[in-house]
Amino acid sequence: MAIIRVLFARIGWMKRYKGQQADDEKPIGGGGYNKNAIGDELFNFLRVGKYVYGDFTPQMQPREKWKLHPATIKLERIEPGFTEKTLKDVLVVFVARQPKAGGQRIVGWYREAIVHRYRQKSTAKARRQIPYFVETAAGNEILVPEARRSFVVPAGKNGFGQANVCYVLDSDGSPKNNTGWIDSALEYVSGYAQEDAAEHPESETDPEIAEIVDGTIERSAGFQSNPRIRRAIEQYAMDWAKRRLKQLGLKPVDMHKTKPYDFLCKKVDADLYVEVKGTQDNGKSISLTPNEVKHAQQHKNSALFIVHSVKVKGKKNPKISHGHERFLPQWDISQGTLEPRGYVFSLPAASLELTASASASEAALNG
């Protein structure tokens, strides 16, 4: 693994990290302090002037001992042999435990960050003068929306252990062994091309209209609000689409974790970007994210694969079965209608006449 300046920091779980809000009151988890108080990561994605400041607790210790035994960042384990108090150009990746589903997830990161060996004092009233360990210029921060936090960081030996910081280097400055997850995490971060809740907070649903929007989308676009069922349907649709695309000789490559589309299919004349959707509804309308809409509008060589009318049994461990497919190998998003509810895309009438047979898909591909 190529050595780059990187630091992983564990914090509590929040939606926005921009202060206390009605539906985002305080960090959840991230250490014993957060059980009875409010963690200082509360403002980690709040822009103060031209900068963003982040805090976390490197060593597990009671807050009252901070002055007697100040926590430090071991900068020499980010840059071998480094002895100064401030290190520049560091990728700082924030990790938090998902309160409901469990598992440590990457929630966001700072690019080109400044990391301080010692906690720095702050005079910013906007963030309650909370001190900080890291800072970066506004625009270098990425916050993954709650629903998109899919990258799971392993815990325990060879993973992100009990300490609230994880270094890429051992104490002697050499790269750690048996940490393949770090390579995967860095690939995820460098290739991330989905919504940024720091730059575009609208990617997190307004809490006051969430219930109305969920109900509307569920009725009109087959949106499933139960996260377990939604994930099961999505995986079912992905597996179905992958099998069909292989049958059509399109050699699909799964890209859904890092790109605003699900499969990349290499063709002789041009690449094909395939968006996959699964729904219990009839598939006449599907919900799209802003990034999915933007990508489809910018790339005419897009395709849409819908697995609709699926059957669901159970809620805790849902089983998905049956269903029908609708494949638009030449998906022109301008031909349907977009309603800005998240978004909802309604297919043009002509597309609804396509059958689910392999022969129909092949005919459409061949023009």
State mean pLDDT over 336-355: 66
pLDDT, tens digit (0-9, with 9 covering 90-100), for 254-301:
998 889 999 999 876 789 999 999 988 888 888 888 888 999 999 999
State mean pLDDT over 158-185: 87
Domain ranges of the chain: 6-203, 210-365
Distance CA 253, CA 274 (A): 10
Output the pTM of the full model: 0.58
Which DSSP helix (H) or strand (E) runs through 319?
strand 319-321
- Contact yes or no for 109/94 (Cβ under 8 A): yes
Q: Which residue has the higher pLDDT, 34 or 20?
A: 20
pLDDT, tens digit (0-9, with 9 covering 90-100), for 184-239:
899 889 888 777 777 766 556 544 334 333 433 344 444 444 667 888 899 999 99
Q: How many CB atoms lie within 10 A of CB 301?
A: 14
pLDDT, tens digit (0-9, with 9 covering 90-100), for 120-155:
999 999 999 999 999 999 999 999 998 888 889 998
Residue type, position 31, single letter? G
What CATH architecture applies to the domain 210-365?
Answer: 3-Layer(aba) Sandwich (3.40)
- Contact yes or no for 236/320 (Cβ under 8 A): yes
Residue 122 DSSP SS3: coil
How far out from the chain centre does Cα 266 lie? 25
pLDDT, tens digit (0-9, with 9 covering 90-100), for 82-128:
999 999 999 999 999 998 888 899 999 999 999 999 999 999 999 99
By the 10 Å C-beta count (0-12 exposed, 13-18 middle, 19+ buried), 40 is classed as buried
Considering the chain, what is the average pLDDT of its residues? 82
Residue 260 DSSP SS3: coil
Conformational region of residue 139, where left means phi above 0, alpha means psi within -120 to 50, and beta covers everything else = left
Q: What is the 3 state secondary structure string of 22-63?
A: CCECCCECCCCHHHHCCCHHHHCCCEECCEEEECCCCCCCCH
